Amino acid sequence: MKRRKFIVGAGVGMAAAPLAAPAIAQGVIRWRLASSFPKSLDTIYGAAEVLAKRVQESSGGKFEIRVFAAGEIVPGLQVLDAVQAGTVECGHTANYYYVGKDPTFAFDTAVPFGLNSRQQTAWMIAGGGQQLMTELFKAYNVVALPAGNTGCQMGGWFRKEIKEVGDLQGVKMRIGGFAGQVLTKLGLVPQQLAAGDIYPALEKGTIDAAEWVGPYDDEKLGFNKVAPFYYYPGWWEGGPQLSAIVNDKAWDSLSADNKSLFISASWEAHAVMQARYDAQNPAALRRLIAGGTKLRAFSPDVMRACLNAANELYEETSAKNPLFKKVYESWRGFRNNQIDWFKVAEYHFDIFMNQNATVTRRRT
């Protein structure tokens, strides 16, 4: 009841402004949302369902969004194209899938050796990220809103161990986003595959390695059955963001009330996705290890070689792409400030808690 009252109140408050689309406001709005993800992943696919459910409930059934899984009406890696063309009104995707169109898309999701989950959200909301990215999304006729994060990812599943930089040579790996271009510099052969296509490729041997997200999803996708070594960290995805994207004409057709609803629902999806991953990963990791998965950390030498290759790529890309350069320079300054702050309280708190894990678990 209270929520209804609030929405009615908000509508009255905005009555002075002209209604964007009074004809639509009187009927039921029915939108289609194309997700880049399969239904089996209740975390990442589930975020779009959280968004749709909230919009439907809060509008009293006047604004319906039907969610379609990857491949149902749009292939998982073509959600941006479908939303840009207006084939569907909106989508839920990782915008770094589109770095082939413009590498600047990576900043909306994750850039190697970049921000953790909280820092990504901070950059977006309070660090100028959303404004900076608007120029790019406008050029593709979409409005983008943060709508999920996985937290720091794992480094993926390998058939053989990666002990030194040379071991990356010739490895065919499914890897998301801009990281593929970093690893190409070290001889790895990257492939971008949608979630549902990874397992068959790994099983058949079309690829030698694959990363997706982390224990909870990776266990569901079955990677542990075909590759024994599970590496960490996913240095290319310290806190990758998922986004809701909306065709700009569809967005403009919404009333101010419905725009506000959609924005709020996206933020709910943003928080719920991260919460589900954080809550469900520990048990999944324990099950994987009990089942024979061998955990391995990337060595500092491998990580440093990747960091150097990443920095080289950022300089090369900045020289060719002025928008990338503009976003990168702001993003890099923000990241460096975040490192300076997080290394004080957060880092020391985390280190202490980890070093004293046995004490924290002891019952007194």
Q: Which stretch binds Ca ion (CB under 5 A): 145-153, 193-201, 310-318, 340-348?
A: 145-153
Our CB check for Ca ion shows the closer of 143 and 221 to be 221
Our CB check for Ca ion shows the closer of 89 and 211 to be 211
* Least distance (Å) between residue 211 CB and Ca ion: 5
Our CB check for Ca ion shows the closer of 197 and 211 to be 211
Our CB check for Ca ion shows the closer of 117 and 247 to be 117
Contacts of 189 (CB under 8 A, 6+ apart): 170, 171, 172, 173
Residue numbers 299-318 binding Ca ion by CB under 5 A: none
Residue 257 burial (10 A CB sphere; 0-12, 13-18, 19+) = buried
Our CB check for Ca ion shows the closer of 128 and 233 to be 233
Q: Which stretch binds Ca ion (CB under 5 A): 110-118, 127-135, 203-211, 325-333?
A: 203-211
Our CB check for Ca ion shows the closer of 89 and 217 to be 217
Q: Which residue is nearest to Ca ion (CB)?
A: 176
Q: Which stretch binds Ca ion (CB under 5 A): 38-46, 146-154, 189-197, 217-225?
A: 146-154
Structural contact between residues 53 and 264, judged by C-beta atoms closer than 8 angstroms: no
Our CB check for Ca ion shows the closer of 137 and 223 to be 223
Question: Does residue number 114 form part of the binding site for Ca ion (CB under 5 A)?
Answer: no
* Least distance (Å) between residue 108 CB and Ca ion: 14
Structural contact between residues 121 and 146, judged by C-beta atoms closer than 8 angstroms: yes
* Least distance (Å) between residue 236 CB and Ca ion: 7
Structural contact between residues 71 and 196, judged by C-beta atoms closer than 8 angstroms: yes
Our CB check for Ca ion shows the closer of 83 and 152 to be 152
Question: Does residue number 156 form part of the binding site for Ca ion (CB under 5 A)?
Answer: no
Question: Does residue number 215 form part of the binding site for Ca ion (CB under 5 A)?
Answer: no
Our CB check for Ca ion shows the closer of 123 and 157 to be 157
Nearest CA to 222 out of 155, 288, 294, 283 is that of: 288
* Least distance (Å) between residue 281 CB and Ca ion: 14
Contacts of 245 (CB under 8 A, 6+ apart): 79, 80, 83, 90, 91, 92, 93, 95, 137, 142, 143, 144, 145
* Least distance (Å) between residue 72 CB and Ca ion: 22
* Least distance (Å) between residue 212 CB and Ca ion: 6
Contacts of 262 (CB under 8 A, 6+ apart): 51, 55, 145, 244, 246, 254
Phi/psi region, residue 321 (left: phi>0; alpha: psi -120 to 50; beta: rest), is beta
Question: Does residue number 176 form part of the binding site for Ca ion (CB under 5 A)?
Answer: yes
Amino acid (one-letter) located at 286: R
Q: Which stretch binds Ca ion (CB under 5 A): 8-16, 152-160, 248-256, 317-325?
A: 152-160
Q: Which stretch binds Ca ion (CB under 5 A): 209-217, 279-287, 313-321, 338-346?
A: 209-217
Q: Which stretch binds Ca ion (CB under 5 A): 140-148, 169-177, 221-229, 254-262?
A: 169-177
Nearest CA to 134 out of 335, 332, 323 is that of: 323
Q: Give the span between the Cα atoms of 237 and 111, in whole angstroms.
A: 7
Query: Cis bond leading into 233, ω under 30°?
Result: yes
* Least distance (Å) between residue 214 CB and Ca ion: 8
Question: Does residue number 177 form part of the binding site for Ca ion (CB under 5 A)?
Answer: no
Our CB check for Ca ion shows the closer of 31 and 199 to be 199
Question: Which residues of the chain form contacts with Ca ion (CB under 5 A)?
Answer: 153, 176, 211
